[in-house]
């Protein structure tokens, strides 16, 4: 049976921990020069509707380090969105490659791709979910704190990154508080899935209060790609939700951000450049976590 990774809950809690363990092992092997190449002669197709620095470079470099090959397929390279049905694209790619990573706008399009693919499909990001980021986030938290007995406060938009992170925290026991302005909360169906997976986050509306006892404060952009027409509305709604030195004063909280950051909006330059920031570890860990995931799916 083909295994897809469309959101974090596609893994069991045990499988999730096993992927993180494998990521730790492969990261250490890369550092000491003992890496293996378990995906020799395997090919990853990387389908992009939305551009990304981290997603492309981490998957492409990771696949090379595993001994395989990755090919970039942008909007102008294939028929996706130019008349060919997604199911046809899925069937054809499945005849050529061993695994597909797709970074799309509509999550339903990803589900359609996976429904007709006969090779694993990995979610590189959709408007609903960003599970590969959650793998990197959990790996980073475990590295920084030695485990998952950690209090994390999410401040900002209940977006795709937040929604996958809610599921990952439920599966690993991370104590999560989510602080969002009215109208930008986590979707109810995500909260229901989190409850089924282990726990729902605490929901709050006061960023300063929620950050006071946090080990980690996590934020993301307020205006995501494709939402530029909502910019003025969102900036007004998120007033008071910036992660800045005032918010963090008197705390020892580390800071996470999936990047790219809109410096001066959801986070200040001073915080992002401070010793609190775990963001560069998060960015690096995208590659290690995704390598572990690819090997797991192709075993």
**pLDDT 10s digits, 113-135:** 999 999 999 999 999 999 999 99
Binding region: 52-55, 79, 103, 130-133, 160, 220, 224-225, 258-259, 286
pLDDT at 114: 98
The secondary structure of residue 212, as a DSSP letter, is: T
| Three-class DSSP category at 22 | helix
pLDDT higher than threshold 80 for residue 226: no
Out of 258, 276, 288, 290, pick the active-site residue.
258
Distances (CA, A) of 66 to 43, 100, 237: 11, 16, 44
Q: State the pLDDT confidence band at 229, using cuts at 50, 70 and 90.
A: confident
pLDDT higher than threshold 80 for residue 224: no
pLDDT higher than threshold 90 for residue 282: yes
- Is 116 a residue of the active site? no
pLDDT at 98: 98
Query: How far is it, in rounded angstroms, from Cα 21 to Cα 15?
Result: 10
CB 255 within 8 A of CB 276: yes
pLDDT higher than threshold 70 for residue 293: yes
Query: How far is it, in rounded angstroms, from Cα 61 to Cα 54?
Result: 10
Binding region for L-ornithine: 160, 220, 224-225
pLDDT higher than threshold 80 for residue 297: yes
Structure tokens at 139: 């790996």
pLDDT at 245: 98
- Is 130 a residue of the active site? yes
Out of 65, 133, 282, 290, pick the active-site residue.
133
Structure tokens at 203: 């929901």
Q: State the pLDDT confidence band at 81, using cuts at 50, 70 and 90.
A: low
- Is 169 a residue of the active site? no
Q: State the pLDDT confidence band at 51, using cuts at 50, 70 and 90.
A: confident
Distances (CA, A) of 180 to 29, 53, 172, 229, 242: 40, 27, 22, 20, 11
Percentage of residues in the chain with pLDDT exceeding 90? 91
- Is 258 a residue of the active site? yes
Structure tokens at 128: 């609903």
Query: How far is it, in rounded angstroms, from Cα 110 to Cα 105?
Result: 9
Query: How far is it, in rounded angstroms, from Cα 67 to Cα 58?
Result: 14
- Mean per-residue pLDDT for 218-231? 84
In terms of DSSP H, where are the helices of the chain?
13-32, 53-65, 86-96, 107-116, 131-145, 160-172, 188-197, 207-211, 231-237, 245-248, 269-272, 279-298
pLDDT higher than threshold 70 for residue 173: yes
pLDDT higher than threshold 90 for residue 71: yes
First-to-last CA distance in the chain?
12
pLDDT-wise least confident of 31-45, 64-78, 113-127: 64-78
Prediction pTM value:
0.97
Q: State the pLDDT confidence band at 82, using cuts at 50, 70 and 90.
A: low
Out of 220, 242, 257, 290, pick the active-site residue.
220
């Amino acid at each position: 049976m083909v295994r897809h990774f469309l959101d974090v809950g596609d893994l069991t809690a045990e499988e999730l921990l096993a992927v993180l363990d494998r990521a730790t092992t492969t990261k250490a092997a890369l550092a000491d020069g003992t890496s293996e190449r378990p995906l020799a002669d395997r090919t990853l197709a990387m389908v992009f509707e939305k551009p990304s620095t981290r997603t492309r470079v981490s998957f492409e470099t990771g696949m090379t380090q595993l001994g395989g090959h990755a090919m970039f397929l942008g909007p102008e390279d294939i028929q996706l969105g130019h008349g060919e049905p997604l199911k046809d694209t899925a069937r054809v790619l499945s005849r050529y490659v061993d695994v597909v990573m797709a970074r799309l706008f509509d999550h339903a399009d990803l589900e359609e791709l996976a429904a007709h693919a006969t090779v694993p499909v990995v979610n590189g990001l959709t408007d609903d979910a960003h599970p590969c980021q959650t793998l990197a986030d959990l790996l980073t938290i475990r590295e920084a704190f030695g485990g998952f007995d950690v209090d994390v406060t999410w401040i900002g938009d209940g977006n795709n990154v937040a929604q996958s992170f809610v599921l990952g925290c439920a599966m690993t026991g991370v104590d999560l508080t989510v602080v969002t302005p009215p109208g930008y909360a986590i979707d109810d169906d995500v909260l229901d899935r989190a409850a089924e997976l282990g726990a729902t986050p605490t929901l709050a509306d006061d960023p300063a209060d929620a950050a006071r006892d946090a080990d980690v404060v996590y934020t993301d952009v307020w205006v995501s790609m494709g939402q530029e027409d909502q910019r003025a509305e969102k900036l007004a709604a998120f007033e008071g939700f910036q992660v800045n030195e005032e918010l963090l004063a008197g705390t020892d909280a580390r800071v996470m951000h999936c990047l790219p950051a809109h410096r001066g909006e959801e986070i200040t330059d001073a915080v992002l450049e401070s010793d609190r920031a775990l963001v560069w570890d998060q960015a690096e860990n995208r590659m290690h976590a995704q390598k572990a995931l690819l090997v797991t799916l192709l075993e």
